[in-house]
Amino acid sequence: MKDILTAPSLQEFCRTTSNMYRLGWDERNGGNISLLLDEAQVGAYLDLDHVIRTIPTGFDAKALIGKLFLVTGTGKYFKNMERDPETNLGIIRIAKDGTTAELLWGYADGGKFTSELPAHLMSHMARLSVNPENRVVMHCHPTYTLAMNYVHELDEKKFTHTLWEMCTECIVVFPDGVGVLPWMLCGTNEIGEATAEKMKEFRLVVWGMHGIYGVGKDLDETFGLIETVEKAAQIYMLTAHLPRVNTIKDDELQVLAEAFGVNYRKDYLNL
């Protein structure tokens, strides 16, 4: 059996968390990621019949029974995951009762998965219902996106429209826009349910005054979505206090989206 530390998915996961920390998106233990794994691939590295221990999830995820996830640990710092993945990460399987996680590897210090796991599982279920290729749920606290929450209306149409205006690529990268939630208590099923509902329409959901959730078919795609929003938010924050001399007009956004053949939210443009 191969060494799990050499698994490409684990190595990419660790590189991603390190990069997110370096960018300032995940201070201390802020943020969390879950990656839906391929059972056949994991079976080459782990004995899938060996369950280290079981951990209640606090949520009924029957739709995900038997699914395997690589998940960041609660209270764990992103900066440490590449150095010590076995302590800071875990591979879990949703047990037959739907409410228990079977630990197959990781959390070596006796820890457990992120407190946001129910929100992640809810988002995985929501996204899989509209896109069977979805594999990643990523939550972080990008600096400029968070700053923008304090000076911009938390309205989905207006927030998305402003981001689209900031960079030519935005309407192409996230033509489905950005969902927005008001401030809610994190770590609860309530915020998980609200996020999952948004995930039926959006691949990006802003948690007001907190951070952002992104989803995608792999780590690169999901990281790229959040990265593009953050760049747009940075440009907005650098220019919001200055007179607007130029902008990308709505008819130009329409031309751009149609040139790239993306299915954009036409009602978010003022044409």
- Cα–Cα distance measured from residue 178 to residue 206, given in angstroms and rounded to the nearest whole number: 7
Half-sphere exposure in the Cβ direction for 190 (13 Å, CA): 6
DSSP result, 159-197: HHHHHHHH-TTHHHH-TT--EEE----TTSHHHHHHHHH
Rg of the chain over Cα atoms, rounded to whole angstroms, equals 19
Phi-psi region of 40 (alpha: psi -120 to 50; beta: other; left: phi over 0): alpha
82 among known catalytic residues: no
Q: Alpha helices, DSSP H only, in the chain?
A: 8-22, 39-42, 85-88, 117-130, 143-149, 156-166, 170-173, 189-199, 219-239, 250-259
- Cα–Cα distance measured from residue 163 to residue 174, given in angstroms and rounded to the nearest whole number: 10
Half-sphere exposure in the Cβ direction for 167 (13 Å, CA): 17
CA of 4: how far to CAs of 44, 47, 106, 244, in Å?
Answer: 9, 11, 10, 53
Which of 27, 82, 102, 116 does the annotation list as catalytic?
116
Write out the catalytic residue numbers: 116
